[in-house]
C-alpha cells in the first residue's frame, strides 16, 4: 500500500516512492535517538538514503533497506566490522550508530512497502561521491582495498558466520536472468554460456582461497573524496570471498576508460600487499560476472527508474558478455557488431 490511495508502491515514480519512505526514515530517526531538523533525500536506487541534520548541527546518513537482502544478523556483522576498521586501520569509513536499545538496525513497519524494513544509521562523510575515478583516487582506492584485506585476514568477529559466501556469480540471489523472456534465443544462449563460465571460475578461485571478509562493492558511488582523502561506505553487499574477487568488482567499473585508473588501483594495492591472483582467465571471468549480477538485480528491483531501464540494460549486458566470450577480455564499451 502506498501513500497515494489506490496506487501500488511499484507503480509510483521515483520521487513518489522516496516520499512514501520518508515516514520510515522519521520513525527510524526516533529509534536512533535523533531529532531531525532536516531530512533530505540523498539517493533512491537499490536502497533509499536520507541525509539527517539535527538542531545541534550533527549530520547522519539514514539508509532504508528498500531492496537489500541483508538480515538483521548480517547488519550486525557489517556494522561491527566497520567499527573495527575505524578503530584499527587507516581506512576512513562511516561510523555506525546504534539505536537507543543498542541494536544496529531499526525495524520499522512501512505502509508503502506493506512490510517491515530495516534502517541503519551512520556518521556523515564529507565530500562528493567519487563517481569519476581519476588515477590519483584509484591509487588511494588500491591502498585502501589492500588495507581492508590485510585487516580482514586477522579479523576475529564471532558473527562472521552470518555473512554470505561468494561462491557463484549471482552471490546467492535468485536467478532471474537465465531464460529471461525479454531476450531472444541467441541472447539467452550468451547468458547461459556466461553463467557457466563464471560459475566455474568462482569455484576454482574459491577453492584456491584465501576466503576473507570483503566489501565487495568498491566503486565510485560507494566512495567519498574530500581534501585529498578517500572514505569508504555502504557495506551492505559485504561477504566472504577471495581478495581477487574484490579487485574484480572494482575493475569492472573501470573498463570504460584507457586503463590508467585500473593500473593505478593495482599500483596502490601493491604498495601495501602483493596483488591478488586468480588462475588463468578466471579473473576476467569474475570481472564479467558483475554484468550478470547487475542485470539480475535490475529484474528484481522495486525502484521505478531501475525497473524502467532493465530491458535496455539487459540487451547491453548481453553485448558486453558476448564480446568477453569471443575475446577473453571484458569491456563496458565493446565495439559495435
Sign of the C-alpha dihedral computed for residues 99, 101, 102 and 103 taken in this order: negative
Domain formed by 9-123, architecture:
2-Layer Sandwich (3.30)
Q: Could you tell me the three cell numbers for 5?
A: 490511495
Percent helix, percent strand, percent coil in the chain, to nearest 5: 45, 15, 40
> pTM of the predicted model, to two decimals?
0.92
What's the pLDDT at 1?
35
Q: Break the chain into its structural domains and give their ranges.
A: 9-123, 135-327
Per-residue pLDDT of the chain (337 residues; tens, 9 = 90+): 334 444 688 889 989 999 999 999 999 999 999 999 999 999 998 899 999 999 999 999 999 998 888 999 999 999 999 999 999 999 999 999 999 999 999 999 999 999 999 999 999 999 988 888 999 999 999 999 999 999 999 888 777 778 999 999 999 999 999 989 889 999 999 999 999 999 999 999 999 999 999 999 999 999 999 999 999 999 999 999 999 999 999 999 999 988 999 999 999 999 999 999 999 999 999 999 999 999 999 888 777 777 777 788 999 999 999 999 999 999 999 988 7
* Total Cβ atoms within 10 A of residue 321: 25
135-327 folds as Aminoglycoside 3'-phosphotransferase; Chain: A, domain 2 (3.90.1200)
Cα distance between residue 261 and residue 121, in whole Å:
32
What's the pLDDT at 7?
60
What's the pLDDT at 3?
47
78, 122 Cβ separation under 8 angstroms:
no
Q: What is the DSSP letter of 94?
A: P
Q: Give me the helix-helix angle, 72-88 and 135-153, nearest 10°.
A: 110
Amino acid at each position: 500500500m502506498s501513500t497515494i490511495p489506490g496506487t501500488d508502491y511499484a507503480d509510483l515514480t521515483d520521487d513518489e516512492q522516496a516520499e512514501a519512505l520518508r515516514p520510515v526514515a522519521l520513525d527510524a530517526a526516533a529509534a536512533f535517538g535523533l531529532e531531525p531538523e532536516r531530512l533530505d533525500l540523498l539517493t533512491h536506487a537499490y536502497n533509499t538514503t536520507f541525509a539527517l541534520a539535527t538542531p545541534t548541527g550533527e549530520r547522519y546518513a539514514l539508509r532504508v533497506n528498500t531492496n537489500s537482502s541483508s538480515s538483521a544478523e548480517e547488519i550486525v556483522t557489517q556494522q561491527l566490522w566497520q567499527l573495527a576498521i575505524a578503530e584499527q586501520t587507516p581506512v576512513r569509513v562511516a561510523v555506525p550508530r546504534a539505536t537507543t536499545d543498542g541494536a544496529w538496525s531499526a525495524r520499522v513497519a512501512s505502509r508503502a512497502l506493506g512490510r517491515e524494513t530495516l534502517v541503519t544509521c551512520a556518521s556523515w562523510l564529507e565530500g562528493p561521491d567519487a563517481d569519476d575515478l581519476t588515477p590519483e583516487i584509484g591509487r588511494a582506492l588500491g591502498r585502501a582495498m589492500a588495507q581492508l584485506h590485510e585487516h580482514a585476514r586477522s579479523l576475529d568477529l564471532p558473527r562472521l558466520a552470518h555473512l554470505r559466501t561468494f561462491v557463484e556469480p549471482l552471490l546467492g540471489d535468485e536467478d532471474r536472468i537465465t531464460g529471461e523472456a525479454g531476450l531472444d534465443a541467441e541472447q539467452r544462449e550468451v547468458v547461459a554460456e556466461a553463467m557457466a563460465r563464471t560459475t566455474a571460475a568462482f569455484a576454482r578461485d574459491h577453492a584456491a582461497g584465501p576466503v576473507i571478509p570483503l566489501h565487495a562493492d568498491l566503486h565510485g558511488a560507494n566512495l567519498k573524496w574530500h581534501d585529498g582523502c578517500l572514505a569508504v561506505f555502504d557495506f551492505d553487499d559485504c561477504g566472504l570471498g577471495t581478495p581477487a574477487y574484490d579487485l574484480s568488482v572494482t575493475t569492472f567499473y573501470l573498463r570504460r576508460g584507457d586503463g590508467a585508473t585500473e593500473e593505478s588501483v593495482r599500483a596502490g594495492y601493491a604498495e601495501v600487499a602483493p596483488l591478488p591472483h586468480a588462475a588463468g582467465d578466471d579473473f576476467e571471468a569474475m570481472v564479467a560476472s558483475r554484468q550478470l549480477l547487475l542485470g539480475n538485480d535490475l529484474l528484481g528491483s522495486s525502484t521505478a527508474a531501475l525497473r524502467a531501464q532493465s530491458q535496455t540494460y539487459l540487451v547491453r549486458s548481453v553485448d558486453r558478455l558476448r564480446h568477453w566470450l569471443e575475446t577473453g577480455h571484458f569491456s563496458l564499451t565493446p565495439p559495435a557488431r
